[in-house]
Chain A
Amino acid sequence: MTNKPLRRSAQAIAVLCAAALSLTACGSSDDSGSGAKAADAGSVEAALKKGGTVTVWAWEPTLKQVVTDFQAKYPKVKVKLVNAGTGNDQYTALQNAVQAGSGAPDVAQIEYYALSQFALGKSVTDLSAYGAKDLSKAYSPGPWNSVAVNGGVYALPMDSGPMAMFFNKKVLDKYKIAVPTTWDEYLTAARALHKADPKAYITNDTGDAGFVTSLIWQAGGHPYTVDGTKVNVDFGDAGTKKFTEVWQKLISEKLLAPITSWSDQWYKGLADGTIATLSTGAWMPANFVSGVPSASGDWRAAPLPQWQAGQTASAENGGSSLAVMEAAKDKPLAYAFVKYANKDAGVQARIKGGAFPATTADLNSQAFLDTEFPYFGGQKANEIFAKSAGNVAKGWSYLPYQVYANSVFNDTVGKAYVSSTPLSDALGTWQEASVKYGKDQGFSVGG
């Protein structure tokens, strides 16, 4: 708490060096020698027999159990699990290590939105050589499309975040507000709730890049189109307009709680009913259980509200993959661990630990769908999540430098949340910043 300002400036510097470093990383993407040697699934088996050490950088808490199980099954393999920071902190460290040529891990956890940046910079290995392409049907489409980029497979999906709306049933019932099924109803509910209790808000939002892009995704927008190094950024399409119309009203009428997600205030708001709904990825239940224990029984899950009544469109929010680094010492062995954790026995261990899988076999298994969540009053919430996973809108892609774009989100779009700047104008400013950065990096950018 005490070192917050320091932390912020340190982060700013870290982002700067990440930006500077990715420049060179992207610059080397023209190299034709990708370094992928001829390998096959057999080499993976051989590597497991031979043994060795795999260093894994990840912050996902359920991996601890997976590592224990894996080492028990393959005693010759030693897995060193290191929490090198969460999200951006880790990407910066990863870029630094890649750039410096030493200190990088063999396997790294990378969120879907950030993966194409590492794939294009050739910091992570194309796993096609080890048979990863055959797994395309094993994962739900949203996560798979995020790892299968540029004609290769650059990671295996670890978890996924098909979106749902979590709502505080106690609060909505108290004010006799129906659970909204469309975003228009959501707006009406927001007005009714805040009028009934000026301290209560339909949700919290101070501007979050992941959330905004996910809702535009659900609305069928395609602000980013990517073809190799040809990129187009356009926040003027129909999907984006649907989003800004509703959200602008929520902002202008001050119907959103000015609380940043993941802060202590946020956990407090989720617990005491001042934040009434939360639209986010299906990985959220584990966080409810550990972070908001006092509100157990108050909350329920529902499908994400729709942009048009009667539809079932959804989007992904968050979620991450495990990638094998190009600098890995023993790639077949590293891949063996990734496959164990994200496709084979590791998945079950992680579901038990509260993770939400990306594997279709688990998403469709009866046991998974029938799981009752005591936290949600015994609701079989996985039915909603699994349906959402199947309904993720097709054709979405992130920028190959989304990590940077998200880092300037608050400087641009963030203004719309705290001033009279219209949301659509603010998105335009974000677009300009993204286009300019892309051009500076040597991409051919339109928009």
Chain B
Amino acid sequence: MAQASTQADTGAGTGADGRAGTAGAWRGRRGAPSERPAGRRHSSDRPRRSVLLTVLTALVAVYTLVPLAWLLISATKTQKSLLDSFGLWFSGDFALWDNIQQTLTYDDHIFVRWLLNTLLYVALGAGGATFLAVLGGYGLAKFDFPGRRGVFAVVIGAVAVPGAALAVPTFLMFSKMGLTNTPWAVIVPSLISPFGLYLMWVFASEAIPDELLEAARVDGSGEIRTFFRIGLPLLGPGIVTVLLFTVVATWNNYFLPLIMIKDPDWYPLTLGLNAWNAQAATAGGQPVFNLVVTGSLLTIVPLVAAFLLLQRFWQTGLAAGSVKE
């Protein structure tokens, strides 16, 4: 965060793509120290290289990438060579395509059904949560009304409550309403994202100047029109950030559907993979470790893709609110 703010100050224009590590290096080569105030150079233009930090970063990188590498490599193996060979190198037949095909067709294409379920939960749950967070955040940031402090306290409090703690009471309530075992049991609780709301609130108060809204009002634009035509476009980066947060949370959600949904036809991918994994531990069950591994790979591909595509927005969004003007 501090790095981002100093970069913004020096006006080098690299803050947005956030390559904090390399930015200093190539800016140094570009030179032209005379253009800048002498005092700044030391702190931001030539960050000292630290062996310790490099080693630490490398360790973290290895720590993050090794499981991914294992997953990629293991997905290319048959069930037999999965058990017989060293995990971090290829072995036996290259069975990736075969595994993918089996994963998609095993047990009457149930994996495809789980994938569609997950997409449904994400589209309605994460999409709805983002929409509500944007509406609420904008409203709280731009309108002064009695009880705003109270709302603030509730939202901050809600951020601190982990979702898992609410799952059981939510289950009992939904059960009374007859909603368990239906998609609604997963979608409705996903619609609430206190953290998203808080983020949108902070972002909206920074990104939308009050003067702009005043001008719109003076010109006779209604509140709703102002929101959609002026507010929304300015909130773009924040919306993407909140969307990514909620998509990841909904996509990886395990405990809520575990409690709510008992019918495999409505399982999301997380529960489905767990069910396949559990199959190995039942009398007469068929172990399908290769399908569990390949299924896990297929499960994370959309998330990885979403991150890579939306990376730019994500980073500007993260930095929002860190700069005090």
**Chain A residues within CB distance 8 Å of chain B:** 1-3, 6-7, 9-10, 13-14, 17, 57, 59-62, 82-86, 89, 93, 96-97, 99-103, 159, 161, 261-262, 264, 267-268, 271-272, 281, 283-284, 286-287, 290-291, 293-294, 318-319, 353-355
Q: Quick check: A59 and B282 within 8 Å, CB to CB?
A: yes
- Among candidates B176, B278, B292, residue contacting A100 with C-beta atoms closer than 8 Å: B176
Q: Quick check: B282 and A103 within 8 Å, CB to CB?
A: no
Interface residues of B in 293-310 (CB under 8 A from A): 293, 296, 300
> B83 to chain A: which residues have CB within 8 Å?
264, 267-268, 271
- Among candidates B84, B164, B279, residue contacting A13 with C-beta atoms closer than 8 Å: B164
Interface residues of B in 247-269 (CB under 8 A from A): 252, 254-255, 258-259, 262-264
In the assembled complex, B287 has its CB within 8 A of some CB on chain A: yes
Instruction: Give Cα A192–Cα B242 distance, bound, in whole angstroms.
Output: 62
In the assembled complex, B184 has its CB within 8 A of some CB on chain A: no
Q: Quick check: A85 and B275 within 8 Å, CB to CB?
A: yes
Instruction: Give 18 pairs: A residue, B residue, CB < 8 Å, sorted on A.
Output: A1-B71, A10-B254, A59-B285, A60-B282, A60-B284, A62-B284, A83-B275, A93-B259, A97-B180, A99-B172, A100-B175, A102-B175, A102-B176, A264-B280, A272-B84, A284-B283, A290-B286, A318-B283
> B176 to chain A: which residues have CB within 8 Å?
100-102
- Among candidates A86, A96, A268, residue contacting B84 with C-beta atoms closer than 8 Å: A268
A-B contact count (CB 8 A): 127
Closest to A57 in B: B262
Q: How far is the CB of A86 from chain B (nearest CB, A)?
A: 4
Q: Quick check: A10 and B292 within 8 Å, CB to CB?
A: no
Q: Quick check: A354 and B284 within 8 Å, CB to CB?
A: yes
Contact with A along B69-86 (1 / 0, CB 8 A): 001000000001011100
In the assembled complex, B156 has its CB within 8 A of some CB on chain A: no
Q: Quick check: B281 and A10 within 8 Å, CB to CB?
A: no
Instruction: Give Cα A293–Cα B80 distance, bound, in whole angstroms.
Output: 9
Q: Quick check: B164 and A267 within 8 Å, CB to CB?
A: no
Q: What is the interface size of chain B, counting residues whose CB is below 8 A from a CB of the partner?
A: 43
Instruction: Give Cα A283–Cα B283 distance, bound, in whole angstroms.
Output: 6
- Among candidates A59, A62, A96, A281, residue contacting B259 with C-beta atoms closer than 8 Å: A96
- Among candidates B80, B168, B263, B285, residue contacting A287 with C-beta atoms closer than 8 Å: B285
Q: How far is the CB of B185 from chain A (nearest CB, A)?
A: 10
Closest to B270 in A: A3
Query: Quick one: which of A57, A82, A103, A267 has the most chain B CB within 10 A?
Result: A103
In the complex with contacts A60-B283, A83-B264, A291-B280, A97-B254 CB distance below 8 A:
no
> B262 to chain A: which residues have CB within 8 Å?
57, 82, 84-85, 93, 97, 103
Q: Quick check: B180 and A102 within 8 Å, CB to CB?
A: yes
Q: How far is the CB of A62 from chain B (nearest CB, A)?
A: 6
**Besides A10-B254, A286-B283, A354-B284, 11 new A-B residue pairs in contact (Cβ under 8 A), listed by A number:** A13-B164, A13-B167, A13-B168, A57-B262, A60-B284, A85-B275, A100-B175, A103-B175, A159-B283, A267-B287, A291-B287
In the assembled complex, B171 has its CB within 8 A of some CB on chain A: yes
**Chain B residues within CB distance 8 Å of chain A:** 67, 71, 80, 82-84, 164, 167-168, 171-172, 175-176, 178, 180-181, 252, 254-255, 258-259, 262-264, 270, 274-275, 277-287, 289, 292-293, 296, 300
Q: How far is the CB of A204 from chain B (nearest CB, A)?
A: 14
> A2 to chain B: which residues have CB within 8 Å?
67, 71, 296, 300
Instruction: Give Cα A261–Cα B280 distance, bound, in whole angstroms.
Output: 10
> B82 to chain A: which residues have CB within 8 Å?
264
- Among candidates A82, A286, A319, residue contacting B263 with C-beta atoms closer than 8 Å: A82
In the complex with contacts A93-B262, A100-B171, A61-B285 CB distance below 8 A:
yes
- Among candidates B255, B278, B285, B289, residue contacting A10 with C-beta atoms closer than 8 Å: B255
Q: Quick check: B285 and A82 within 8 Å, CB to CB?
A: no
Q: How far is the CB of A220 from chain B (nearest CB, A)?
A: 26
> A262 to chain B: which residues have CB within 8 Å?
280-281
Q: Quick check: B283 and A161 within 8 Å, CB to CB?
A: yes
> A6 to chain B: which residues have CB within 8 Å?
254-255
> B275 to chain A: which residues have CB within 8 Å?
83, 85
Q: Quick check: B296 and A1 within 8 Å, CB to CB?
A: yes
In the complex with contacts A1-B293, A82-B263, A100-B180, A271-B254 CB distance below 8 A:
no
Instruction: Give Cα A95–Cα B84 distance, bound, in whole angstroms.
Output: 40
> A290 to chain B: which residues have CB within 8 Å?
284-287
Instruction: Give Cα A161–Cα B283 distance, bound, in whole angstroms.
Output: 10
Q: Quick check: B175 and A13 within 8 Å, CB to CB?
A: no
- Among candidates B171, B274, B278, B280, residue contacting A96 with C-beta atoms closer than 8 Å: B171
> B259 to chain A: which residues have CB within 8 Å?
14, 93, 96
Instruction: Give Cα A2–Cα B300 distance, bound, in whole angstroms.
Output: 10
In the complex with contacts A85-B275, A86-B278, A272-B84, A353-B175 CB distance below 8 A:
no
- Among candidates A1, A14, A89, residue contacting B292 with C-beta atoms closer than 8 Å: A1
> A286 to chain B: which residues have CB within 8 Å?
283-284
Q: How far is the CB of B184 from chain A (nearest CB, A)?
A: 13
Q: Quick check: B264 and A267 within 8 Å, CB to CB?
A: no
> B71 to chain A: which residues have CB within 8 Å?
1-2
> A96 to chain B: which residues have CB within 8 Å?
168, 171, 175, 259
> A264 to chain B: which residues have CB within 8 Å?
82-83, 280, 287, 289
> A281 to chain B: which residues have CB within 8 Å?
283
In the complex with contacts A102-B176, A102-B178, A102-B180, A271-B84 CB distance below 8 A:
yes
Instruction: Give Cα A348–Cα B289 distance, bound, in whole angstroms.
Output: 29
Q: Quick check: A103 and B181 within 8 Å, CB to CB?
A: yes
Q: Quick check: A97 and B292 within 8 Å, CB to CB?
A: no
Query: Quick one: which of B274, B280, B284, B286 has the most chain A CB within 10 A?
Result: B284
In the complex with contacts A1-B293, A100-B180, A102-B176, A61-B171 CB distance below 8 A:
no
> A100 to chain B: which residues have CB within 8 Å?
171-172, 175-176, 180
> A355 to chain B: which residues have CB within 8 Å?
283-284
> B181 to chain A: which residues have CB within 8 Å?
103
Closest to B174 in A: A100
Q: Quick check: B258 and A86 within 8 Å, CB to CB?
A: no
Closest to B264 in A: A83
Instruction: Give Cα A187–Cα B220 distance, bound, in whole angstroms.
Output: 91
> B255 to chain A: which residues have CB within 8 Å?
6, 10, 13
Query: Quick one: which of A9, A10, A14, A281 has the most chain B CB within 10 A?
Result: A10
Q: Quick check: A85 and B180 within 8 Å, CB to CB?
A: no
Instruction: Give Cα A100–Cα B176 distance, bound, in whole angstroms.
Output: 7
> B284 to chain A: which residues have CB within 8 Å?
60-62, 283, 286-287, 290, 353-355
Instruction: Give Cα A2–Cα B284 distance, bound, in whole angstroms.
Output: 25
> A89 to chain B: which residues have CB within 8 Å?
258, 278
> B296 to chain A: which residues have CB within 8 Å?
1-2
> B286 to chain A: which residues have CB within 8 Å?
61, 290-291
Q: Quick check: A7 and B180 within 8 Å, CB to CB?
A: no
